[in-house]
Structure 1
Amino acid sequence: MKVSKLRVALITAALGIGAGTAYYASAGSAAASSTSASAQAETQAQAQTQEHSHHHSLPNPYEFLPKVPSFKVVSATVRNRHPLPLAQLSGVFGVPGGKDVSPELSWSGFPKTTKSFVVSMYDPEAPTGSGFWHWIVEDIPATATSLPQNAGALASTTLPAGAIQLDGDAGMARYIGGAPPAGSGIHDYYITVTALNESSTGLGATTSGALFTFEIDSHTVARATIVCPTAIKGHTVKSPLGGPDLPALPSRPAAVRAREWCGPPPPGARTPRSPGNAGPARSNPPALAELVREGAPSVAHVVTTGPPALR
């Protein structure tokens, strides 16, 4: 059978067009795939950037309190907007190399009406729903303008006369270093010096950080803060309950404190102001570490009985 040159030309042209179409379709598909992968990577990068930006756009927790003047606080140990050094991280909570050494601090430029200071460290981003108070020192006299490094040691001998360390959220009257859990991102540690117009808060060492802050709010005349954004990769928080690194707990038995909490305040105890119309507040619940270690009534018992006002 004879095939005309015209027919061959038409078939060849058709095949050429088909091959060209297939080539361009394949190339277009590869390009689309490449574009999709690039877009996905860009989206992930943007998400990470947004997450980082979101963290740094979180409000300063002190912005929710009435505005007061600031003054100057500096440290030879920590730097504003730099991570906490290793010594200021928590060995008690299992950070490798952490030593729970409180930073050196010095301050100046506070109001003349200042009668005492409070020094604290707070992590608003701790995975608790209410942040975590690492350190609170009350009743620092107005004549003191510095704290040496490790003044926050247990049973410290380098705090100014009259100063009292609160138990904090770890239930220990000492400085507890930073310990951001793995995957929780950057934590902003607020190291704060608060100037008060009263020489003593009248609050005991077992007062919670939240209640303490509420109580001193109306007496605050100025505040200065160093912020240390810190993250630790791969760190698993070690519970201090019963651990060998757990310092000695307060001598007053937890069972006694539990009974005091569930009943009237101890004789002579100051009854703190209460928010709203909730009535007079009771003494603070004992630290969980003390309940577990000292064989106090079960946590369920403490919760179900609670302060009389809640029964």
Structure 2
Amino acid sequence: MRIVIITTRDLRNPLAGSGERYTHEVARRWAAAGHEVRMFAQEVPGLPPEEDHDGVRVERAGTRRTAHREARRWYAETRPAPDLVLDALDPRPSGCPAWVTDAPVVALALRIRRPGGPVGRWRLRGYRTVPTLAVSASAGAALLAHGLTDVTVVPAGTGSDLLPAARRAPVPTVAYAGPHPREAVRAHQLLRARIRDAQLWVFDPGRHADRLAGPGVRVFAESDRAEGIARAHAQVLTAATGDWPLAVDEAAACGTPTIGYDRPGLRDAIPAARGVLTAPSAAALADGLLHHLPRWAAHPAAGGWAGGALGWDAVAEAVLAAATTGR
């Protein structure tokens, strides 16, 4: 098959994240299986306009403002016509259904946040009848509620191997990774009233780093996250994602359970990895930690376990099957 992927960023973009990782891992396996895979993404200073990346032909043009126009121009010059166009919707849809007329279009919705809001309604209005792939039941439900009519849930993917538990912290310790730690910090403050030696380790807090001083709170760089999650007794997640937060599966592979809010994305991934959901409030999170953290700290796991995400080989097969079935 000839497959074209239209996306905003490829994996080598400095702003690339889990969505770009997902797209690349799927695409490279399609290429390895003998498919011709071409990917269009916006230009990146210092990177060539064209290159082969793990068997995928990546072609770059346009800035954040002009990339979608460049994608349309680039596609018009793509011959022969592909057998499939995969339109990655994150962070902004490219509008492929409006201008791809010679090949089937399938949308890939990897990080759908608030699709029902004013911006989401405008951006997704051209996708109501377009076959769309979502990586969690939460995301699929949100897209259906918004008015999309052809949504299929495909598996999340992870390359995390099961790992032996690291040497755990000497006192009950919770880890949080991300730029919005306020809820985690508030829950920790409430928890400290009952467990005085409880620690909160925050990784990569961004601009919030200078606001996190307080009893039992330590701040670390993103480069320390993997080891820190493995040494903590629990991971806390609070932000709705809509997709499948791989941090849950990565922590489980280290033997670290996740406790987090019952919100889109989290409500799919956390139970699948033997974690705990709480109501979306700092007080409820503190109560959940009070109930579970002492046991997790006293009897940490001797090894890791699998979450609900599958290996990338299985994911690539599932996505291609979903994208081509009945198209």
Identify the TM-score tier after normalising by the shorter chain.
under 0.3
Structure with the largest fraction of helix: 2
CA radius of gyration, larger in: 1
The normalised TM-score by structure 2 is 0.23
Structure-1-length-normalised TM-score: 0.24
